[in-house]
Structure 1
Amino acid sequence: MKTSSLHVLDCMQHSVPSHLTASFSLRSATFTALIAGSLFASSSALAQSGSANDAESLGTVTVTGTNLYENVGYTRRTTSAGTGLTLSQKELPQAISIVTEQRIQDQNLATIEDVLRNTTGISVRNVDSDRVSFAARGFRINSFQYDGIPTLNTDNRWYFGEGRLNTAIYDRVEVIRGANGLVSGSGNPGASVNFVRKHADSREFTGSVSGTLGSWDQQGTTVDLTTPLTASGNVRARFIGGYEEGGAHLDRQDKRRTFGYGIIDADVTDATTLSIGFDYQDSHTSSPTWGGLPLWFSNGTPTNYSRSFSVAPDWSYYDFESEKVFAEISHRFDNDWQVRVVGTHEKTDMDGKKAYPYVEATLPDQMDGSGVDFFTGWNRGHREVDSVDVQASGPFALLGREHELVIGGSYSDQTNDYESTFISGFDVDDLNHWDGSAPNEGWPEFTPSEASSTRQKAVYTASRFSLADPLTLIVGARYTEWDGMTLFRSLDSQSKYEVTPYGGLVFDFNDTYSAFASYTEIFEPQNYRDADGTYLDPVVGKNYETGLKAAWFNGLLNGSFSVFRIEQDNVAAALPMVGPGQTETFYSAADGVVSEGFEMELSGAVTEDLNMTVGYSHFTATSDDDSFNINQPRSLFNLFASYNVPQLRELTLGGGVNWQSSLFAGDLTTPPGIPNEFEQSSYTLANLFGRYQFTPDLSLQVNVKNLFDEKYYSNVGGYGVYGEPASISSTLRYAF
């Protein structure tokens, strides 16, 4: 039986420059009232919350050591996401959320799944115990970037563990909601996610060591060291590594994760910087589930299993291993132009041996647990990505005004290879009391199940024109040559030559508030097949967005309100599984898909002692025939805040809530007399954290998740997957 214990993560104090203190004192009460109104008023009031900016340097703001990356508490001064231009959030005509290192530490967001689960407008669906799917504005997120280099996962049948990645190596996570084709090329229009790695940012030897304990025998250690390699510190190295185990609430399940990251940063000249690094992450789960729990018993009574109950056999496992080698060189010229070249080689392996209970059509008897059939699968996958991006950016003068230009080219070659093997399925005498024992003999040799490759060559450019002092125009385009091949039942190949335009207009009302409007297009060749085995045609669509943004306290607090409309045709919609022998999901093309909605976010320092991130999003997505992706929550709300107690500066307290609207599953292939639809009602999760700084170097942090132990399904379909029960964790951290 698993036991609960405490967890401990690190702590960093962040201060506000003295010249801003008076501004906070005079306006904090009024502004706090404005925040409360913006959260609970109508959408017209929400619009006045605005968005993000950063006009002035923030000088002596201190957050987690030297502030080379311009993270400021729970917000960030500048970003190049979306356009490739270095802009403040207020200058970017798109919706953006940036999860900073400080917030990752405070909220104990240890994995990418944790980060995206707490990001405005992002819904997370647990496909089973180890696989997760992310969505925004009604569309699955399949574009993940590492330091701006994209990796595309077009087929959701194969999962390479993106949600498991440890966040200790990342300086921040940037999420652009809406179409991001200018930067990422092909992909879905819901959102794209960029993971920005940490660098060797100190010319002196610095570091930290932390130890973690938590519920369900969780324990782990993380080491972060930075050291100069030369006397002057112009060549520096950083290593981040750790090991974790435990932390699984399901019976028989255990988790082990190892990660290591190393980077060398060298100032080759005063104007030239070279970075070379390596990123390794390895994850192992024993007894993972494939699918989930039955929603009903055979007599039609809803089930109510314990959240620790597992439908995984005791021999099952799921492993991921990723290796990334990367290099970057940049040079700044005297005229403020900069050239940057980035290259990466990525190799990722997945290995999963599991069994799937077909609990949509074969339901257990309520009394004796009989009647459930399992089918098996042992799948392996290998993905390699080779990418290079060359970019030049800088200012130029035209008609007496100064403007900005970025121009670049990229090349990406991605291959995916999969192999599988199966043994005969089995039934369980009593699922309700099953201990995981199941046949595990006679697995044949692996046979290739699918191979695919994608090659993208692109050139892109974007310009920011200063039309007038309050008005800027950003226009750009990307030309992509896309070639793809898939070998499944037959060899299929397709090519796509696409121009992806980008247009955005920003009007500054004053130094605080601005309005924006933007238009983008996006395309995505897809590997989804219909019931006849034919691949669907590429998805094409348009993205419209407009809204307000604001930056208060010289960019310490950023806010945004946006309204969007996404129009797409030929979007893949999953067809119901038709029987226990079907191991592949088929799709139909949903014509005329339209997603409309609005989003708001407020993130940063509300006062010199209070940091906060709060967001709300709502969308509706419909097709010509019916609603689209009804198993995604239409509305999401997230809030997290931290407060440094003035009377006891060593103490920081905080917490938050996550709420989402209902989930719905329809057209289920259940037996006669059993409902063919299921709804998980809306639910709220509460979280707490506290940190005490014993000395400037030593701190203890405690986090509590799902404080009131809410029982809910994170995913419903032909089966249900429970969300995680209440847990507590604590981290003891020593920095030097």
Structure 2
Amino acid sequence: MPLPQHHAPNPLMRTSALIRLFHSGLMAVAVTGLFAQTTQDSSPAAKPADSEVITLDDFVVTSSKAEGYRATNAISATGIGTKIGDTPLAISVVTGELISDTGLNEVREVLNMVPGVLTNPVNESRAVIRGFTGLIAYRNGQYRRQLMTTWNMDQVEVIKGPAAIFFGAVRPGGIINTVTSKPVFSGNFTDVKVSAGTDSYYKAEVYTNQVVNDKFAYRVGVGGIDTGGSRDFEYLNELYAGISAIYRPTPNQQISVDLEKIDRDRFYLSSYPVRSLVNSKVYLQPGALAAQAGINRLSTTADSANRAYLTTLGYSGTATAANFYPLYDMFAPIDYGTSLSNDARQVQRSYTVDLEYLAKINENLVWQTSLNYAFDNTSGLQPSDGDTRPYADGSVRFRTEFFINIRDSYNVDNKLTWRFDLGPTKHTLQIGQEYQRVRFDRPGYLNPVNQSYNNSPGNSTVSGVPNKYVTYFFPGGSTPVSIVQVFNESGQTFNIDRKSYDALYGYFIADQAKFFDDRLLVLAGARYNSFTNRTKFDKPVSNSSQSAKNGGLANYDIGKGKGGITPQGGFVFKLLPQLGVFATYSESIEPNLAIDADGNASEPIESEALDFGLKADFYDGRLTSTLAYYTIDRANLAYTDTAKQIATGKSPYYIFGNSEASEGFELETNWTPNNNYTLIAGWARTTRAETTKSNNALFVGRRFGAQPENTYNLWNRYTFTEGPVKGLSLGFGFQHNDGTNLSQDPNIRVWLPAFTTYNAMASYNLKLGDRNVKAQLNVKNLTDERYREGADGYFAPARTIYFSLSTRY
């Protein structure tokens, strides 16, 4: 890294007096602003120019304000609609039209269009932004656990870097915010779309927009997916329903309601053992087969057996030796379509309710209150341990894992936005408060031998507890088993409930200012966050951090998450009206709620980031581009202190101060030279993504797993507007990822090969009777490339073909 290594000053050590001062400042500014607006003073210094008068529409950004693939505004970065070119952040927006043209059915697929973002084909909720992985997804500005299908999706916004002010405790790489379509007052219409594709894929969706009067409009949507798959037993069934409404009792007030319900049932993809990789010096080697002939496979893993044999060949028996090098083949020995079970199942339920109130107090002031309730339930019964390591003969062993993960969240957000002029400068000041309460419900198995809690019945390994293994299973040769039957034979079941309660409190102040006739645009502010956590068990357990100090058993656990202040400041300076240079410095914190056996609380994970680059907007927005360089330092990660745990006989203990860093470049361009042709292209080069300090020196300097150095994406479309093929559109694009290591672990020398996939589209606007109908054909993974993707090394989807018809009534 060109910049020197350093640790951000710890904001958590600032005094409580500073926190009180911060709170008092928020109150003072709010009261002063409100008081100023109630006076009769009409001084020009406090009144914005007509072009700067705040409106309720400033708080709503939709694809209807974009032109094709070109989005000029985003709401996620600042909480209010702001021109992307005027915001000192790297912002990517995938519009609804681009989502439709490319046939992107999953949010994960949409994110693959964004430079610097990586996804996982079997985990729709986890994304990687600038090297850092996490659940970093929002829906209409509210945190969500699950990202699934692009139902009612208006656009997807990705904000790169720590979103310190407006999103609080987040991973430093950035955040993802999906923006749904809202009712419009422009007229009544109904959109209908039906799709069919390979692998018995069927999808239907209907959205209707109805204007009751000039004060009330609503939008209702329903949809469903029923599909099989290219592999045995694979299926997915999904139902969607949504309704949103806008009520404007007065010209200066707006009440919005949004409800969404998604139910998904599918075959659990972890039943396909496609991560099973073998060493060429072990797999089917006579010596290895002889050495493993007599082992007890109930007690000896394939890892242990393979390692023991490699040691006899002179390879090191230490943990740092390469257990999987030289590799037999990245795509062998188990076929893509092989399954361990015939009835593995995953269930996902996602419900949300949003309520928002906007009040324009006068032309300077708007008050906003947002309430959100969300429910997410991800449950599943799947094979466990069977998809990663085969024995020398190619067989695997596995057991079961049954889990239920229920999340309820409640959000209350309030914000005051004040737009005013101060001399020759223009300001948009925002003062806000956020409260979030989350309850995680995770039923589990209470081990009768040592009273320990296990969150997934079926895979407890405590001696004396029944534990059913399937052994000598040859993928592709043995008959897939009933995982339900294996679980029932395990003797384990749900017999204890664990509930965890998290609370987050946040307060922020931010100012967007314009100087020197709008040539210098500044975004600056700070946020204070605090966290609490408490866990309850309905029965005493031995593996709570409070167990040791309560006679060996406790029915609760406590996380003493500490808070802190995170500042953010940046600017855009217009070298030309069409070209600006930008830079941003920001800090962020993430709650670290663990406490050690002595009751010492973990410090929060702290990050600091620097972005700078260029933003261009030429030819009235027909050519826009952002070039960004970034560097991120993430510090104070906690790793287990195994030595202290062994020495004291107590756990857990941690070593703090571990750190990570990422660095790179991103380039994104959107070009529409005329009304017929449009192109978007992106490039991300991650020059550094590694551990910089660790209690395990072997990890220092090693690249994060599944983090390619270069990724590229391109999509272009040409539309014929005259002649015999008028109404025909053709689209084509590709995605490329460099090869990279699968894991950061030095013991796993597995390489993910580079891949390039191609996608194509053809659509035609035709007349069926008196109705305009759009027929569209999409082909994804045109060349049927077989490749692995994501941190788990799963196979990505094979070639798929979809045909759709859509119309508006």
Q: Which TM-score band applies after superposition, normalised by the shorter structure?
A: 0.7 to 0.9
CA 1:305 to 1:735, structure 2 compared with 1: closer, same or farther past 3 Å? farther
Of 277, 282, 286, which aligns to 1:295?
277
Contact kept, 8 Å, 1:294 with 1:363, in 2: the verdict is no
Q: Confirm or deny that 1:265 pairs with 2:246.
A: yes
CA 1:307 to 1:244, structure 2 compared with 1: closer, same or farther past 3 Å? farther
The residue type paired with residue 134 of structure 2 is: I
Of 357, 369, 374, which aligns to 1:341?
369
Whose RCO is larger (CA < 8 A, sep 6+)?
1
For residues 428-474 of structure 1, give each alpha carbon's deviation from its aligned partner in whole angstroms, at most 9, with x where no partner exists: 44223233224432353314475422211111111122232221222
Which residue is equivalent to 2:522? 473
Contact kept, 8 Å, 1:664 with 1:716, in 2: the verdict is no
The residue type paired with residue 531 of structure 2 is: W
* Deviation, structure 1 residue 573: 7.8
Which residue is equivalent to 2:457? 421
Q: How does 1:578-597 map to 2 (within 5 A)?
A: 591-597=658-664
Which residue is equivalent to 1:730? 803
For residues 271-302 of structure 1, give each alpha carbon's deviation from its aligned partner in whole angstroms, at most 9, with x where no partner exists: 21111121001111124325643112454743
- Give the distance between the partners of 1:247 and 1:531, measured in 2 at CA: 49
* Deviation, structure 1 residue 346: 0.6
Which residue is equivalent to 2:714? 639
The residue type paired with residue 410 of structure 2 is: D
* Deviation, structure 1 residue 659: 0.3
Q: Confirm or deny that 1:193 pairs with 2:266.
A: no
For residues 365-398 of structure 1, give each alpha carbon's deviation from its aligned partner in whole angstroms, at most 9, with x where no partner exists: 2xxx43x110211000110110021112132121
Q: Confirm or deny that 1:94 pairs with 2:85.
A: no
* Deviation, structure 1 residue 334: 3.6
Which residue is equivalent to 1:324? 352
CA 1:571 to 1:600, structure 2 compared with 1: closer, same or farther past 3 Å? farther
Q: Confirm or deny that 1:692 pairs with 2:764.
A: yes
Contact kept, 8 Å, 1:360 with 1:669, in 2: the verdict is no
Which residue is equivalent to 1:397? 421
CA 1:220 to 1:298, structure 2 compared with 1: closer, same or farther past 3 Å? same
The residue type paired with residue 685 of structure 2 is: H
> Which deviates more, 698-707 or 562-571?
562-571
SS at match of 1:570: strand
CA 1:710 to 1:449, structure 2 compared with 1: closer, same or farther past 3 Å? farther
Which residue is equivalent to 2:126? 133
SS at match of 1:565: strand
CA 1:357 to 1:479, structure 2 compared with 1: closer, same or farther past 3 Å? closer
Q: Aligned residues, how many?
A: 640
SS at match of 1:554: coil
The residue type paired with residue 267 of structure 1 is: R
* Deviation, structure 1 residue 167: 1.3
Which residue is equivalent to 2:625? 559
Of 581, 601, 606, which aligns to 1:540?
606
CA 1:666 to 1:520, structure 2 compared with 1: closer, same or farther past 3 Å? closer
Which residue is equivalent to 1:8? none
Of 550, 575, 578, which aligns to 2:616?
550
More strand as a share of residues: 1
SS at match of 2:402: strand
Normalising to structure 2: TM-score of the pair?
0.74
Q: Confirm or deny that 1:658 pairs with 2:716.
A: no
- Give the distance between the partners of 2:349 and 2:177, measured in 1 at CA: 20
- Give the distance between the partners of 1:272 and 1:381, measured in 2 at CA: 39
Contact kept, 8 Å, 1:254 with 1:287, in 2: the verdict is no
* Deviation, structure 1 residue 115: 1.0
CA 1:644 to 1:136, structure 2 compared with 1: closer, same or farther past 3 Å? same
Which residue is equivalent to 1:157? none
- Give the distance between the partners of 2:569 and 2:237, measured in 1 at CA: 46
The residue type paired with residue 425 of structure 1 is: Y
Which residue is equivalent to 1:171? 154
SS at match of 2:165: helix
Contact kept, 8 Å, 2:590 with 2:605, in 1: the verdict is yes
Q: How much is the aligned-residue C-alpha RMSD, in angstroms? A: 3.0
Q: Confirm or deny that 1:455 pairs with 2:470.
A: no
* Deviation, structure 1 residue 604: 5.2
CA 1:185 to 1:667, structure 2 compared with 1: closer, same or farther past 3 Å? closer
Contact kept, 8 Å, 2:125 with 2:137, in 1: the verdict is no
The residue type paired with residue 265 of structure 1 is: I
Q: How does 1:366-445 map to 2 (within 5 A)?
A: 369-370=394-395, 372-419=396-443, 420-422=456-458, 424-438=468-482, 439-440=485-486, 441-442=488-489, 444-445=492-493
Q: How does 1:596-607 map to 2 (within 5 A)?
A: 596-603=663-670, 605-607=672-674
* Deviation, structure 1 residue 575: 12
* Deviation, structure 1 residue 364: 5.5
Q: How does 1:12-23 map to 2 (within 5 A)?
A: none
- Give the distance between the partners of 1:284 and 1:611, measured in 2 at CA: 38
Which residue is equivalent to 1:216? 199
Contact kept, 8 Å, 2:561 with 2:603, in 1: the verdict is no
- Give the distance between the partners of 1:233 and 1:203, measured in 2 at CA: 10
Q: Which runs of 5+ in 2 are unaligned?
A: 1-50, 53-60, 286-326, 444-455, 459-466, 537-542, 546-556, 643-652, 693-699
- Give the distance between the partners of 2:337 and 2:654, measured in 1 at CA: 32
The residue type paired with residue 77 of structure 2 is: G
Contact kept, 8 Å, 1:350 with 1:382, in 2: the verdict is yes
Of 65, 77, 82, which aligns to 1:82?
77
CA 1:465 to 1:67, structure 2 compared with 1: closer, same or farther past 3 Å? closer
SS at match of 1:75: coil
- Give the distance between the partners of 1:411 and 1:652, measured in 2 at CA: 47
> Which deviates more, 344-353 or 629-638?
629-638
Q: Confirm or deny that 1:629 pairs with 2:673.
A: no
Q: Confirm or deny that 1:121 pairs with 2:116.
A: yes
Q: Confirm or deny that 1:568 pairs with 2:623.
A: no
Of 704, 718, 726, which aligns to 2:779?
704
For residues 641-683 of structure 1, give each alpha carbon's deviation from its aligned partner in whole angstroms, at most 9, with x where no partner exists: 111124433101101000011131357798xxxxx41112211
- Give the distance between the partners of 2:631 and 2:120, measured in 1 at CA: 23
- Give the distance between the partners of 2:588 and 2:369, measured in 1 at CA: 25
SS at match of 2:151: helix
> Which deviates more, 639-648 or 106-115?
639-648
The residue type paired with residue 116 of structure 2 is: G
- Give the distance between the partners of 1:115 and 1:535, measured in 2 at CA: 39
Which residue is equivalent to 2:558? 492
The residue type paired with residue 211 of structure 1 is: V
> Which deviates more, 79-88 or 356-365?
356-365
Q: Which runs of 5+ in 1 are unaligned?
A: 1-55, 58-65, 152-159, 577-585, 671-675
Q: How does 1:664-675 map to 2 (within 5 A)?
A: 664-666=741-743
* Deviation, structure 1 residue 351: 1.2
Which residue is equivalent to 1:234? 215
The residue type paired with residue 134 of structure 1 is: A
CA 1:448 to 1:73, structure 2 compared with 1: closer, same or farther past 3 Å? farther
* Deviation, structure 1 residue 617: 0.6
Q: Confirm or deny that 1:682 pairs with 2:754.
A: yes
The residue type paired with residue 723 of structure 1 is: A
Percent identity, aligned pairs only?
21
> Which deviates more, 503-512 or 80-89?
80-89
Contact kept, 8 Å, 2:500 with 2:533, in 1: the verdict is yes
CA 1:492 to 1:123, structure 2 compared with 1: closer, same or farther past 3 Å? same
Which residue is equivalent to 1:32? none
* Deviation, structure 1 residue 259: 0.8
Which residue is equivalent to 2:140? 147
> Which deviates more, 255-264 or 303-312?
303-312
> Which deviates more, 400-409 or 356-365?
356-365
Q: Which structure: larger Rg?
A: 2
Contact kept, 8 Å, 2:334 with 2:476, in 1: the verdict is no
- Give the distance between the partners of 1:654 and 1:607, measured in 2 at CA: 16
